[in-house]
Amino acid sequence: MIKRYNNLSLAIAIPGLIIQIAGRFLIDSGQEALGLVMTLGGTVMLLFGFAYYAKAKGRSPLWCLAGFLSLIGLIILALLKDHSGVNEV
């Protein structure tokens, strides 16, 4: 696994998830417009994080689309075999 891409995936995906959750709370509290923008922005960040994780494993960044499968997609990404040929992590 390529360490640089793995670190980038964590640095982008974790804040993206937090922003997504905060956006959902804003939608529930009555601030729909701001909550929607935050939720969409968090989703984009999360997908970029998943793309970097796929790149860390030597795979195509298009594997980030598995994130749309919710928990099943995350399990698929985690179980992908490492094709990077690098053992940095």
> What burial class does residue 55 get, using C-beta atoms within 10 Å of its C-beta: 0-12 exposed, 13-18 middle, 19+ buried?
buried
Per-residue pLDDT reduced to its tens digit, 7-55: 999 999 999 999 999 999 999 999 999 999 999 999 999 999 999 999 9
Residue at token pair 């919710």:
70
Cβ(27)–Cβ(15) below 8 Å: no
Alpha-carbon distance of 50 to 63, in angstroms, equals 8
pLDDT of the residue at 86: 84
Higher pLDDT, 86 or 19: 19
Give the H or E element holding residue 42. helix 32-56
Rounded mean pLDDT of 45-74? 92
pTM of the model: 0.88
